[in-house]
Amino acid sequence: MYVVGIDLGGTFFKVGLVDAESGKILRKLERETKVNEGGDSVIQRMAEAVEEITEGIEYIGVGIGSPGSIDHDKGIVRFSPNFPGWVNFELGGLLSNKLNKPVFVENDANAFVLGEKWFGAGKGYNHIVALTLGTGVGGGVISHGMLITGHNGIGTELGHVIIEPNGPQCGCGNYGCLEALASATAIRRMALEGQKKFPESVIFQSENVDAKSVFEAAKMGDGLGKAIVDRVVNALSIGIANFIHIFNPEIIVVGGGVSRAGDILFEPIREKVQHLVMPSFKGTYKIVQSPLVEEAGILGAASVILQNVNKPK
């Protein structure tokens, strides 16, 4: 059984042909999105890419993981910051008409948790909380086997849960959101803010001041690096403990660029969360790094079609 996943981004989209049983990406290609050429042109190039990648192969349908606010029942992009013209854009319907195949669209953070359920760390679980730590912080939740999206399909904005009411301002306007404390953007900001006081930090000897250089510095014992990692760990631990108390999940999967820091991030989080959860929650969950890495986008998108085709009636 084969499905196609499209990981849609503002600059590029990636298309993959996925074997639904093994979770292997058999073929993949990447194309420029060229949003400025208009929706019809994007749809046309998407359709061509899908046809190219599925040549000679019978596939079930296409799943799309898209940034922005998605009406997943109708396959409509309500709006998406990097796609200025796409207001109530019928992404799913238009591509489905071109291909004559079912197409389902989901927000990319929701696609991520579906990807973990179908192909990643969430396999076999019905209660999964997923976080992606990238430019922003995205969240997706499966509870009782069901993707939680809320009344308007815009729920599980886990990155905008307020962790420190007096913390740094978030892009959303509020203060102390998880995104303002644990995204790659936040980590870079904290490093730059620390530069005046710690100009000697090894962070500033690396080519780029970014999440990676901060974690590298912390591993080397750098004071600023360690202080920033502490703050990120603290914010994520409070957030994850809250999500455990809310969803009582079997597993919390953390992905996105920042998650690649690995043990230096996950070990102190596990310790701190264990300390924060109430006794009845101890031993009920595990916190893991996403195993999907580079393939998370395509596999998440492919899971969108699988989840919808296999939906309980």
Give first-to-last CA distance, the chain, whole Å: 21
- What 3-state class would DSSP assign to 13? strand
206 vs 234, beta carbon nearer its own copies: 234
Provide, rounded to whole angstroms, the least separation between the CB of residue 229 and its own copies. Answer: 17
**29 versus 172: smaller Cβ distance to its own copies:** 172
Indicate the DSSP class of residue 19: E
Place of tokens 């596999």: 299
Q: Output the 3-class SS for 117-160.
A: HHHCCCCCCCCEEEEEECCCEEEEEEECCEECCCCCCCCCCHHH
Least distance in angstroms from the C-beta of 294 to its own copies:
29
Beta carbon nearer to its own copies, 155 or 291: 155
DSSP secondary-structure letter at 312? -
- Positions in the binding site for its own copies (CB under 8 A): 69, 78, 126-127, 141, 143-144, 146, 148-158, 160-165, 172-174, 234, 238, 241-242, 245-250, 276, 278, 280-281, 284
**Smallest distance, Å, CB 200 to its own copies?**
30
Q: State the DSSP H helix or E strand holding residue 65, giving kind and residue range, or none if neither.
A: strand 62-66
The three-state DSSP-derived secondary structure of 242-285 is HHHHHHCCCEEEEECHHHHHCHHHHHHHHHHHHHHCCHHHCCCC
Residue 2 or 125 with smaller CB distance to its own copies: 125
CB of 111 to its own copies, least distance (A): 17
What 3-state class would DSSP assign to 4? strand
**198/243 with CB nearer its own copies:** 243
Q: How far apart are CA 300 and CA 303, in angstroms?
A: 5
Cβ proximity to its own copies, 144 vs 196, nearer residue = 144
CB 28 within 8 A of CB 15: yes
What is the closest distance, in whole angstroms, from the C-beta atom of residue 100 to its own copies in the complex? Answer: 30
To the nearest whole angstrom, how small is the minimum distance from the Cβ of residue 5 to its own copies? Answer: 24
